[in-house]
A and B are shown apart, each in its own frame.
Chain A
Amino acid sequence: MSFLGGARSSTSAGGLNNDKIEMAITELDTITDFFNRMVSSCHAKCVGTRYAEGDLNKGEMVCIDRCVAKYNEVQKKVGEKIQSRGAAGNASG
């Protein structure tokens, strides 16, 4: 994300490097958002809606483990694909 920071290094009087802080906050937000979406998706896919009891059964637990692993894989692959398309676009454009 080099277009975001530019060449300025804005340092306030209190010794805070604002660019670094903003990047850290953006990263934190991204990861939190990713986690929340993963919780939501895996709940929809793995946890039944009968709610006969308050505990997760064995099948649901196994499903959740696999769901998290798959979600993570998908995130990686999509990221790679987007980056490779972007690089190819830059090369040919």
Chain B
Amino acid sequence: MDFSGFNSAEQAHMNKVIEKKQMQDFLRLYANIVEKCFSTCCNDFTSKALSSKEDQCVMNCTEKFLKHSERVGSRFAELNAGA
């Protein structure tokens, strides 16, 4: 993605677009994590409240997914920088 041929008005416009997309992407990530972690961790519906096991599972799941996403991001950036 080469933005060097853009004048400053276009650059400003692109920055706004990118900011909006980052926000949407973040919300999508959030929804994804919730769905993934809920489906793997929450299987006991004998109670309304989260059991401590489920709670711990969800916390671990979220942390793991975020770390995973970070790692994929670094590898991806390395690949693109090298390409």
A21 CA to B14 CA in the complex, in Å? 7
Is A32 touching B21 in the complex (CB atoms < 8 A)? Answer: yes
Interface of B with A (CB < 8 Å)?
1, 3, 5-7, 9-10, 13-14, 17-18, 21, 25, 28, 32, 36, 40-41, 57, 59-65, 67-69, 71-73, 75-76, 79
Q: Give A49-93 as 1s and 0s: 1 = Cβ < 8 Å from B's Cβ atoms.
A: 101111110001100110111001000000000000000000000
Quick one: given A20-B6, A54-B63, are A39 and B69 in contact (CB under 8 Å)? yes
Closest A-B pairs by Cβ, 6 of them: A54-B63, A68-B75, A51-B60, A54-B60, A49-B40, A51-B61
Main secondary structure of the interface of B (DSSP, over half): helix
Nearest CB in chain A: distance from B14 CB, A? 6
Interface of A with B (CB < 8 Å)?
14-17, 20-21, 24-25, 27-29, 31-32, 35-36, 38-40, 42-43, 46-47, 49, 51-56, 60-61, 64-65, 67-69, 72
